[in-house]
Amino acid sequence: METLTDTRVSRARSDYAALLRSRGLRVTPQRIVILDAIAGAHDHFSAEDIHSAIADDNPGINLSTVYRTLETFERHHLVRRTDLGLNRIVYHWSGRAPHHHLVCHACGRIIEIDDDALQALTRELERRYGFHADLQHQSVFGHCANCLNHQEDEERLPNDKP
Ligand SMILES: [Zn+2]
Ligand SMILES: [Zn+2]
């Protein structure tokens, strides 16, 4: 007899299979497991995050399989990647609203910004270079307002010498 849980799981699995096929991807058990972990992630995730989420139940899926699968998913627009610095490639599920990140070199703070914040740049690249930029999930590095204010305070401080 099928329990409620079984129904839910099997429906999800067939949904994932359909999603993979709709992106021209072959359906494999590993891809289904990884897709399930991704769809359950609320925020950004790295390959390591996904691997540790699934490792206990799926000892046969190693970290390099997760890396390769995420790269494949990215090429097929199931996830969007960005580099937040510190050798951290992170992804978000493509169903999430488009956005970008500002990353502070000094304190490591990461600020999420709306997609339209880069529209002026996109327009300018089009106007000046005839280049149609496809800006998705960008990370812009610099210094946050907090750190800049701090810096100015320090510059204003009198030095210790009498
Ligand atoms: Zn993001
Ligand atoms: Zn900062």
Task: Find the 152 Cα to ligand 2 centroid distance in Å.
Answer: 13
CB-CB contact of 140 with 85 (8 Å): no
What domains are there in the chain, each with its CATH number?
A: 1-94 (1.10.10.10), 97-162 (3.30.1490.190)
Residues with CB under 5 A from ligand 1 (ion): 92
47-102 pLDDT, tens digit each: 999 999 999 999 999 999 999 999 999 999 999 999 888 677 899 988 788 899 99
pTM, two decimals, is: 0.76
Handedness of CA 142, 145, 149, 152 (dihedral sign): positive
What pLDDT was estimated at residue 41? 79
- For residue 99, the CA-to-ligand 1 centroid distance in Å is 6
Distance CA 107, CA 42 (A): 24
- Give me ligand 1 centre to Cα 98, in Å: 8
